[in-house]
Amino acid sequence: MTNVSHILRKTGHRLTKQRQQILRALTCRPQSVEEIKSALLSQRIAIDTTTIYRTLDCLVKLGIVAKTRFNEHNAKYELLGKTHHHHLVCTTCSAVKDIPLDDDFLMKKVKKLTNFHVQSHTLEFFGLCKHCQ
């Protein structure tokens, strides 16, 4: 957190009340803008949707947050935690579960097979969660 505020300052951004609160609302689980907004509202913190979008865009650019689209119409955002991980997305109830997977294997293979310079990747599994199957 203090780390994040440092990054913000260093890049000429300001650590506003809103940004602090949005950062606090972020989790390692992907959330939509509306989910973040109502999570904040339930704590009586009202922040405009536009501000949430702009803050998230900013955090994505700084590499603090990841933006992902599971095959839904809206994007989801999650705090980039320490450990790299992937997701299990339930096609029935939309629940998302983190799953750590060692994918060095694949990354090396891509590097060997192509001349593409990989910067990041996403790996999502779609199916039925324990509850829905």
**Position 15 contacts DNA (CB under 7 A):** yes
Residue 34 vs 41, nearer CB to DNA? 34
**Position 17 contacts DNA (CB under 7 A):** yes
**Position 28 contacts Mn ion (CB under 5 A):** yes
Q: Per-residue x/- marks for Mn ion, 66-95, CB under 5 A?
A: ------------x-----------------
**Position 88 contacts Zn ion (CB under 5 A):** no
User: Distance (Å, rounded) from C-alpha 85 to C-alpha 115?
Assistant: 25
Residue 28 vs 58, nearer CB to DNA? 58
User: Distance (Å, rounded) from C-alpha 83 to C-alpha 66?
Assistant: 13
User: Distance (Å, rounded) from C-alpha 42 to C-alpha 23?
Assistant: 15
**Whole-number minimum distance, CB 98 to Zn ion, in Å?**
15
**Position 132 contacts Zn ion (CB under 5 A):** yes
Classify residue 44 as left (phi > 0), alpha (psi -120 to 50) or beta.
Answer: left
**Position 124 contacts Mn ion (CB under 5 A):** no
Q: At what angle do helices 33-41 and 49-61 cross, to 10 degrees?
A: 120
The answer to whether the beta carbons of residues 78 and 85 sit under 8 Å apart is no
User: Distance (Å, rounded) from C-alpha 110 to C-alpha 127?
Assistant: 26
**Position 81 contacts its own copies (CB under 8 A):** no
What residue ranges bind its own copies (CB under 8 A)? 67-71, 75, 88, 90-91, 97, 99, 101, 103, 105-106, 109-110, 113-130, 133
